[in-house]
Amino acid sequence: MDLTELRGKYIEAVAQAADEAALEDVRLAALGKKGEISLMMAALGKMDPEARKAAGAALNVVKTEIDAALRARKQGLADAALDERLRSEWLDVTLPGRPRPRGTIHPVSQVMEELTAIFADMGFSVAEGPQVESDWYNFDALNIPPEHPARQEHDTFFMHRAEGDDRPPHVLRTHTSPVQIRAMMAQGAPIRVIAPGRVYRMDMDQTHTPMFHQVEGLAIDRDISMANLKWVLEEFCRAFFEVDKVELRFRASHFPFTEPSAEVDIRYSNVGGQLRIGEGDKWMEILGSGMVHPKVLAAAGVDPDQWQGFAFGLGIDRIAMLKYGIPDLRAFFEGDLRWLRHYGFAALDMPDLPGGLSR
């Protein structure tokens, strides 16, 4: 075969190879073990010495040229691939870094952590119950039978039952008191628990929202009295509001699930929308409380002849408003970022008693 033609064929094939795989095919076809040029090299052995010398030299030149072309093309393809990667994987290092998380802890969450720390220190553990509750836990077990007027006063949200199912509907719990029942059924007596969480009532004005937060407290033992209740609440308020002077007012009241019952107000002032605790001439109702009714103990399987104790239900949003001087309750749940940034807490600001609750 004409060596010029052979050379031309492979030089052209090298130039046409679109990528490294195609180029490798060309190399194998020409210079591989079974390649055309390699086979011609092998065939030289059958020539007579004179002819072999001339043909071998000429063939070597062609082989060297093709080999050089292969290497050059290979380098070219690699360069092009790198260029392409540099183009496609380009990164603008001048872009600003990731912004720091901007979220804050909602005052309600912060206050729940704070009050949990305080009550934990007094020996209360945390209990929980569902927000969609059966009417038995929310009412009956708490000595509020179906025809009791208190059921109407609760402005209850009712869940739907399926068509034809005429069992009483579930409710959105109207208070955290059903957790008293659940906790006593689960743990028996003696017991000391708090149960913070969401509750629901159809109500809406400057101091009421349809969803709000309560913390239930329950302490049952052999000889717990109203005096213990008063001490726990006063001690709690002193620790929570972080002021020595907190004034509580116990007012006789009525709840079906406690006997006797008391509502508790706290003294505060409101100067130009700024709420201050422990001074002034205003009183804000913050909780309902009393000695757990024997019928309630019995409903939860606790023997009222052996055990007695107190319970209270404290409005978390209210004490958050008072402590952090937040005038309008509705703003708590509007999700306004400016409000959240203003009243929110840093995520690492976990309240604990040794560190001071609200640094």
294/305 Cα distance (integer angstroms) = 8
**Phi and psi dihedrals of 284, rounded to 5?**
-115, 130
Least distance between ligand PHE and beta carbon 214 (Å): 6
Which contiguous run of DSSP H or E holds residue 218? strand 211-221
The residue within the footprint of ligand PHE, chosen from 256, 288, 309, 351 (CB under 6 A), is 288
Q: Is 279 helix (H, G, I), strand (E, B) or coil?
A: coil
Total residue length of the chain = 359
Distance of CA 305 to the CA centre of its chain: 44
**Only segment of 13-21, 78-86, 109-117, 311-319 that touches ligand PHE (CB under 6 A):** 311-319
Least distance between ligand PHE and beta carbon 211 (Å): 14
The residue within the footprint of ligand PHE, chosen from 124, 200, 236, 312 (CB under 6 A), is 312
Least distance between ligand PHE and beta carbon 120 (Å): 19
313 binds ligand PHE (CB under 6 A): yes
CB nearer ligand PHE, residue 175 or residue 318: 175
**Only segment of 62-70, 76-84, 164-172, 309-317 that touches ligand PHE (CB under 6 A):** 309-317
196/116 Cα distance (integer angstroms) = 8
Least distance between ligand PHE and beta carbon 94 (Å): 58
Q: Which of 281, 359, 294, 282 is nearest to 318 (CA)?
A: 282
**Only segment of 3-11, 133-141, 295-303, 307-315 that touches ligand PHE (CB under 6 A):** 307-315
User: How many amino acids of this chain bind ligand PHE (CB under 6 A)?
Assistant: 10
Q: What residues numbered 220-259 form the site for ligand PHE, per CB under 6 A?
A: 255, 258
Q: Which of 266, 254, 259, 313 is nearest to 287 (CA)?
A: 313
Alpha helices in 188-315 (DSSP H): 226-241, 294-299
290 binds ligand PHE (CB under 6 A): yes
289 binds ligand PHE (CB under 6 A): yes
293 binds ligand PHE (CB under 6 A): no
177 binds ligand PHE (CB under 6 A): yes
CB nearer ligand PHE, residue 69 or residue 292: 292
Q: Which of 245, 174, 158 is nearest to 210 (CA)?
A: 174
Measured between alpha carbons, how far apart are the two ends of the chain, in Å?
A: 93
Which residues, in sequence order, are CB contacts of 191 under 8 Å at separation 6+? 183, 184, 218, 219, 220, 309
Q: Residue numbers of the site for ligand PHE (CB under 6 A)?
A: 175, 177, 255, 258, 288-290, 311-313
